[in-house]
Amino acid sequence: MATSKDAPKKEEAAEVAPPKKSKKLLIIIVAAVVLLCLIAGGAFMLLSKKKAAADGEEDAAADEPAAHAAHVWPKFDPTKPPVFLPLEPFTVNLQPENGEQFLQVVASLRVIDAHVGDQVKAYMPQIRHEVLGLLAGKKPSEITSPEGRETLAEEMKEIINEIMGWEAPPVSKKKKATAQEAVGPVVSVFFTQFIVQ
């Protein structure tokens, strides 16, 4: 038989039990809300990516040449006055053939327009690094002939255009690219001084 002293203990036990259930319920509700937020965020991100991809496909379809290049460069107009960007001199040791020899080169870049010239200046440390590496890898016999210098100028142009993010559009097998189609931000490289010693 229960005494009156036991009755208050049962009442206290009854009062303590409900908060445990309410804490569990609160944890379940919070976890459900967090889970719903994560699902909604994931769905939003997927829909945003699909929309961006669809917009990109529409832009590519509307402007086919832009789909082939990292940047949209202005069209080269050979009738406009040329824009030249002089480079600082390059001096490198060449690959040895008949003893040690070095090359001193001063060059200028012909760019599409003045705006592109400003963009080239922003990349100048990387451009100098890559061109120095190219020049230092040459043997004197490879660059002393007119054809060798012309090949070197083309290689420099390709390196600089690649650094600038330009990729030549693909050429179809039926039709070769014209000079107009193959022009990047740097149109050509001209040597104003070229000394091999």
**Could you tell me which residues come within 8 angstroms of residue 123 by beta carbon, excluding any fewer than 6 positions away?**
160, 163, 164
**Is position 125 within any domain?**
yes
pLDDT of res. 50: 75
**Same domain (yes/no): 94, 35:** no
User: Is residue 116, in this structure, part of any structural domain at all?
Assistant: yes
| pLDDT score of 34 | 87
Q: How far is CA 141 from CA 89, 153, 159, in A?
A: 21, 16, 21
57, 88: one domain? no
Residue 28 is predicted with a pLDDT of 87
Question: 148 in a domain, yes or no?
Answer: yes
* 190 shares a domain with 96: yes
Q: What confidence score (pLDDT) does residue 69 get? A: 41
Asked if residue 183 and residue 127 are part of one domain, the reply reads yes
Residues 104 and 145 in one domain: yes
| Whole-number Å distance between alpha carbons of 179 and 187 | 10
pLDDT at 36: 86
pLDDT of residue 61: 47
In a domain, 77, yes or no: no
Q: How far is CA 5 from the centre of its chain?
A: 80
Number of structural domains in the chain: 2
Decide: 85 and 125 in contact? Cβ < 8 Å. no
Same-domain status, 54 and 115: no
Task: State which residues form the domain around 53.
Answer: 6-62
Per-residue pLDDT of the chain (197 residues; tens, 9 = 90+): 555 555 555 555 555 555 566 788 888 888 888 888 888 888 888 787 777 776 666 555 444 443 334 566 777 888 889 999 999 999 999 999 888 999 999 999 999 988 889 999 999 999 999 999 999 999 999 999 999 999 999 999 999 999 998 876 665 555 554 444 558 899 999 999 999 98
Shared domain for 125 and 94, answered yes or no, is yes
One domain, residues 116 and 165: yes
